[in-house]
Amino acid sequence: MKIVIIDYGAGNIQSIQFAVKRLGLNAVLSNDPEEIRSADKVIFPGVGEASSAMNKLKASGLDSLIPQLKQPVLGICLGMQLMCNWSEEGDTQGLGIFDVDVVKFSTRVKVPQIGWNQISDLCSPIFKGVKDYEYMYLVHSFYVKECKETIATTSYELEYSSALQKDNFYGVQFHPEKSSSAGAKILSNFFNLL
User: Which residues are at the interface with other proteins (CB under 8 A)?
Assistant: 12, 14-15, 18-19, 21-22, 47-49, 107, 110-118, 135, 137, 139-141, 155-156, 175, 177-181, 183-184
Secondary-structure percent of the chain, ordered helix, strand, coil, rounded to 5: 30, 35, 35
Count the Cβ atoms, other than its own, within 10 Å of residue 153.
Answer: 17
Q: How far is the CB of 47 from other proteins (least distance, A)?
A: 6
Q: How far is the CB of 9 from other proteins (least distance, A)?
A: 10
Query: How far separated are the first and last CA of the chain, in Å rounded?
Result: 11
Which CB, 68 or 106, lies closer to other proteins? 106
Which CB, 31 or 113, lies closer to other proteins? 113
149 is catalytic: no
177 is catalytic: yes
Q: How far is the CB of 148 from other proteins (least distance, A)?
A: 25
Backbone angles phi, psi at 68, to 5 degrees: -90, -5
Which sequence positions are flagged as catalytic? Answer: 77, 175, 177
